[in-house]
Amino acid sequence: MPFLDTPNGALYYMVTDAAAPWQATHRETIVFCHGVATNADIWAGWLPALVQHYRIVRFDTRGFGRSALPPKGFQWTLEALGDDILAIATEAGVDRFHLVGESAGGTACLALAAREGGNGRVRSLTMLSTGHVGGYIKNVDPWRPLIEAKGMEAWSAQMMDNRFAPGALCQDQWDWFHDTQSRTEPESLLGAAEMLLAADLRPVLDNVMMPALVLSGSESPFVPIHAARDLTELLPNARMRTFPGVRHGLPFSHAAAASHIVSGFLTRMRSY
């Protein structure tokens, strides 16, 4: 399996490139960044809509999935997660790329896009179920006492209800997601959560000059719909799509619909 060694541990990544040889030099790349307590496989349902037209780079966020746990004393910061995204892109041989992130991964992508500005490596930005102000994020404070009292499996069972409305997943999807969450290292989860709750990206959003797309479920218990609207209004070049009745797990439960929207968004970019 491919790993990128970094000073804070190895990052697992995968590159999917189904281009014909005569198309390969013209292919744009999308880098995907997932949120807490899951891994790069959350994006598997996005491949059918995108793999024929884009090179796909996915990786397990530091501390989750197959990537290494951070060393003792590691400081969870959006800047450090942004550095990981850039390092993965460089390792994959990518100069400029489209960026798609969900939940905490979306916040890391947003912070990186603000840092890169309009002439940096990020060509476009798509965020799903993404918060930009820690004070807007709801229902995270009870995580630590729940985990300490009942463990990760109980936390995951509660999270499944918060992520997905009844009937949103088939049984195999539900089982995979619950199992993946249950095997998460608690300190990685809680470290990332504390980072998010302390974040406030409003002062730097004017720097996000590239085209941006905000996708949000109307019923997320963590990122209220008004927060998604606020983010869209603050970004210089953004549009928003809402999924009625959908909870926080939009990128997984509605992968087909969301990926087709992103495909259209990127196609329109090429036409300008």
First to last CA, the chain: 38
Confidence of residue 252 (pLDDT cuts 50, 70, 90): very high
Whole-number percent of the chain with pLDDT over 70: 98
Tokens 């697992």 identify what position? 12
Question: What contacts 40, CB < 8 A, 6 or more positions away?
Answer: 12, 13, 14, 32, 34, 58, 59, 60, 65
| Residue-level pLDDT at 21 | 76
| Residue-level pLDDT at 202 | 98
How many C-beta neighbours within 10 Å does residue 72 have?
6
Confidence of residue 269 (pLDDT cuts 50, 70, 90): confident
Inform me whether the pLDDT recorded for 271 exceeds 70: no
Q: Is 269 helix (H, G, I), strand (E, B) or coil?
A: helix
Inform me whether the pLDDT recorded for 23 exceeds 80: no
CA distance 219 to 207: 29
> Stretch 234-248: mean pLDDT, rounded?
98
| Residue-level pLDDT at 206 | 97
CA atoms within 13 A on the CB side of 205: 19
Query: What is the overall mean pLDDT for the chain?
Result: 96
| Residue-level pLDDT at 121 | 97
> Stretch 156-185: mean pLDDT, rounded?
98
Inform me whether the pLDDT recorded for 272 exceeds 60: no
Span 83-116, pLDDT tens digits: 999 999 999 999 999 999 999 999 999 999 999 9
What is the CATH number for 197?
3.40.50.1820
Q: Give the burial class of 212: count Cβ atoms within 10 A of its Cβ; 0-12 exposed, 13-18 middle, 19 or more buried.
A: buried
Number of domains in the chain: 1
The two three-digit tokens of residue 239, written as one number: 């549009």
- Bridge partners of 122, per DSSP, are 97
Task: Give the DSSP H/E element, type plus range, for residue 233.
Answer: helix 225-234
| Residue-level pLDDT at 255 | 98
Better pLDDT: 15 or 118:
15
| Residue-level pLDDT at 241 | 98
| Residue-level pLDDT at 20 | 75
Inform me whether the pLDDT recorded for 209 exceeds 60: yes
- State the amino acid at position 254 in one-letter form: H
| Residue-level pLDDT at 112 | 98
Distances (CA, A) of 128 to 88, 132, 194: 21, 11, 20
Inform me whether the pLDDT recorded for 56 exceeds 90: yes
> Stretch 249-254: mean pLDDT, rounded?
98
| Residue-level pLDDT at 24 | 67
> Stretch 19-41: mean pLDDT, rounded?
89
Inform me whether the pLDDT recorded for 118 exceeds 90: no
Inform me whether the pLDDT recorded for 229 exceeds 80: yes
The answer to whether 241 touches 153, Cβ cutoff 8 Å, is: no
**265 lies in which domain range?**
3-271
CA distance 144 to 162: 16
Tokens 């990786």 identify what position? 59
